[in-house]
Chains A and B, each alone.
Chain A
């Protein structure tokens, strides 16, 4: 039997690292165990072809919370942004494009009414997103349960909705639960503009623009603009891995012990109480507190074991919807790609192919039946424009998130991965003629690959679909929404918990606060 720790954290993703650091700062001895060879979980930079590195999963920073950056002094630990406040370039098939910023949209042929509507719409939705953002900072209140903190948080939420004023409150209660498709039809004309806004609402999810809940996901995205103080979308220097490297440095500075290449076999229990973990190599490590940064299905069904938990709770865990629908494409390029109508100094921004709502919806339709679309929508980033550390001099890396690629492709991914990759490259070449000749290496990761590499059940980036029935006190499931679980001493700190995914870090922070509150004895 080895050394005893106060806390063991399973999984060194960004939330796990955040949680570990906050806990270690209070003087607790914290051990982190990570299955992979490097820390970072789905926020890593890795070489996909000799000399070429890329943010392997998440590739743009837009939700990361400034409170964490300052609490953990991440800037001192090496966090550096190569570019901030990126625009979004929405490409049209005919070579035109729109440029979207937080408050404005510009482009050929865009009507004055669309321009005004855009800034009004963004302002209005940011007012709603601010309410959502406030709830992100505290644990989700339990309903009915008579706890003063929860009742206060609930009252604050109710009050902030009321404080919106009558018209805004009515508008929020009207559109809050519906789809972005219908709402955009009310105010906008440009198909291209609606297309890119609809795309922003569905990126990374298993929803189409016509699916209700897509206003919720859009608001979720907008919270990033609120808490990042203007730096909305950023490219970290050194890729996403640099963010988690700075987190690692902060964690180690706080005294966290990190062991990589150490997959966990199971969480050890004494009836209903955690006693420690057992690794795949058979090593048992004791601790009264185990925090899982793994997704809820992996945590409960694999690490704890369904037979050790109450049936009703297992059923809830079973029913969490978390099948990934996004794929990731990495290209090593011999030179800067040329997108039709996009000049060179725009290349570093976020480029989106989603020319209309119908285009995105049709791409989604295929994925419902286990097919990939012949016309996928995508978000493209070329980080090497800002950061020459990722590729040899003069060479470039293109990273794209592709909607939609169903987890359970009916034809099977093994036989289809290459043809899907080819199809995506063909689609890219429609917008960037000549790109094919620049490609020297490529990699496509579909949801089963993401599942395998990052140990996320279903390959869902957010550890669970972000919809109203899996939101706040329902996330990941009732009974585990306040980071504590039915197993004594076992906590959750991953994106499957409130407030959810995206490289944000708040789930880890909130979990640490909850753990300190509940486990008063050091």
Chain B
């Protein structure tokens, strides 16, 4: 049997990124994927004839430009189409439009509150500063603060110095920003509840926290720290759906000689004498390698495909306690035409981007309370997009594809597994909310795919349906991600590594965990590093 240099388990975008950099360094790499298609949650699927869905992740911004350029993904057909606009519909029939043009945006805020229009400049300046501060850390391995190794100490000094150099006032603001709730943060700037509701969404997406839970200001940052073609904070569609990202990564990987096997679910990582030997598949096939990388989330990695006897007791305990509660659902809908909305003219430019139907932070907080009580939000926060307005490849001419991200949706309903009836009721809750604002939306629906955390877990393998492979709270960020002492991508067994979103810097279609992990592996193997350094924003 052939022995590989490295095996990567899971062909999600991070696994593929990781594999591509290992292969680029000359290693003989095998990627194993349980599904018949690659991409994990970065996937385009056709579930209704003629339509393509980005049926899990749905928009792109966080993907690291270093990787995009270094692996020449454009050559492999990856194209990100930036979108502009956004709208939040209000219960009273009005709306708030998010215009790209500064002047217009200012006027639109002033329409709701003059004071807020002025505060907005201060707000964007403060958030942009935080964004610029955090970006350089995406492509770096977090230091272990308890370690005395020169590398860790130097990295820690680098971090402290970066923040120290901000000056006293800004450093204080930074500490406050990291520890505050997005609700309290926005309350410090704005008075109008619609402005706050419009901005607060990014603080809760994918998170099992409410807008008033401290720590959510960081989650806001997590959604602002990306860029599209150098425009920081911008978001875009991957042409052809999110699967195009996985496809381009796979093509790059294969161009370096890498090999991908689909329909190859891993049953166990083989360990003997304290080091990995390879993997055994669910069908019994074995593949051997001295380096095995798990792109699965930490729970699946340590509790499913590794044996307790092969692991230190503390790792098993940490994996069991790892917080990975799913909090989001998803609807993908085939539409017979573009829906119209009461509040604005048909085909209004604001509809080219994300639209929302929740006009106060109190409604958002109540949506969170439903989740806490073990049920889906009865008045959920929706992040809705119709990418086919700018990407004609995903639906027949004149028809549209709509993607709806739903916050909050629990992994279990009142402690019990989801039933199909409950799933449909969940879908109806979402569709009903949109119908309040759109007269023809319901009639245009040709097909709807409803995904609760159960579907995400079963299909993609996201434990409890958590889109980030683990919650983004302080106990699971930076040197704590996934667990303290294991944040440098190395597993507890020799030759075993992690590359998924459960590692620093976390979830979102970013590619950074995969790339950082490859850097550490190549370092251990004493190979030349192929992973690019972080760009400077300057």
**Residues on A facing B (Cβ under 8 Å):** 142-145, 162, 166, 169-171, 173-178, 182, 186, 210-213, 315, 319, 321, 361, 365, 368-369, 467-469, 473-474, 478
User: Is B372 among interface residues, defined by CB-CB distance under 8 A?
Assistant: yes
- Taking the closest CB of chain B, its distance from the CB of A317, in whole angstroms, is 12
Q: Are A145 and B168 in contact (CB under 8 A)?
A: yes
Q: Is the CB of B474 within 8 A of A469?
A: no
B16-24, B34-42, B96-104, B477-485: which lies at the interface = B477-485
In the bound complex, how far is the Cα of B212 from the Cα of A467, in angstroms? 13
- Closest beta carbon of chain B to A79's beta carbon, Å: 37
Bound together, the chains give a CA A229 to CA B485 distance in angstroms of 35
Q: DSSP majority for the B interface?
A: helix
Shortest CB distance A12–B (Å) = 32
- Report the Cα distance A315→B188, complex, angstroms: 8
A18 CA / B180 CA spacing, docked (Å) = 32
User: Which residues of B line the A interface, CB within 8 A?
Assistant: 145-146, 164, 166-169, 171-172, 175-176, 179-180, 184, 187-188, 209, 212-215, 321, 323, 362, 365-366, 369, 372, 473-475, 479-480, 484-485
Contacts of A473 in B (CB 8 A): 172
In the complex, A387→B172 CA distance in Å?
A: 47
B145, B164, B365, B366: most-surrounded residue (chain A CB, <10 A): B145
Q: Are A478 and B172 in contact (CB under 8 A)?
A: yes
In the complex, the answer to whether A365 meets B213 with C-beta atoms within 8 Å is no
Nearest CB on A from B203, distance (A) = 13
Residues in A whose Cβ lies below 8 Å from that of B365: 368-369
Closest to A174 in B: B475
Instruction: Kindly state the separation between the CA atoms of A278 and B146 in the bound complex, as whole angstroms.
Output: 54
Question: Could you say which residues of chain B place their CB within 8 Å of the CB of A365?
Answer: 369, 372
B209 to chain A, nearest CB (A): 8
A174 with B172, Cβ < 8 A, contacts A211-B214, A212-B474, A213-B214 known: no
CB A179 to nearest CB in B, in angstroms, measures 8
* A469:B176 contact, CB within 8 angstroms: yes
> With A and B bound together, what is the CA distance between A176 and B145 in angstroms?
14
**In contact, B145 and A173 (Cβ under 8 angstroms):** yes
The reply to whether B475 and A178 contact each other, CB–CB distance below 8 Å, is yes
- Can you list 7 A-B contacts (CB < 8 A)? A145-B168, A173-B484, A182-B323, A369-B362, A369-B366, A467-B214, A473-B172
Say how far A321's CB is from chain B's closest CB, in angstroms.
6
Q: How far is the CB of A322 from chain B (nearest CB, A)?
A: 12
A166 B214 Cβ-Cβ under 8 A? no
A173 to B473, CA, bound (A): 12
**CA–CA, A31 and B166, complex, Å:** 42
Given contacts A143-B168, A174-B484, A321-B184, contact A212 B176 (CB under 8 A): no
A143, A173, A211, A467: the one within 8 Å of B164 (CB): A143
> B188: which A residues are within 8 A, CB to CB?
315, 319
Q: Knowing that A177-B214, A369-B365, A469-B175 are A-B contacts, what are 17 other residue pairs whose CB atoms are under 8 Å apart, sorted by A's residue number?
A: A144-B164, A144-B167, A162-B146, A166-B146, A169-B145, A169-B146, A177-B179, A177-B475, A178-B474, A210-B213, A211-B212, A212-B213, A212-B215, A212-B473, A368-B212, A474-B176, A478-B172
State whether B168 touches A144 (Cβ < 8 A).
yes
Chain B residues with CB under 8 A of A212: 209, 213-215, 473-474
**How long is the Cα–Cα vector from A182 to B480 in the complex, in angstroms?**
15
Nearest B residue to A215, CB-CB: B475
Closest chain B CB from A151 CB (angstroms): 11
How far does the alpha carbon of A427 sit from the alpha carbon of B164 in the complex, in Å? 52
Give A144 to B473 CA distance when docked, in angstroms.
27
In order of increasing CB-CB distance, the 8 nearest A-B pairs are: A177-B474, A468-B179, A170-B484, A478-B172, A144-B168, A469-B176, A212-B214, A166-B146
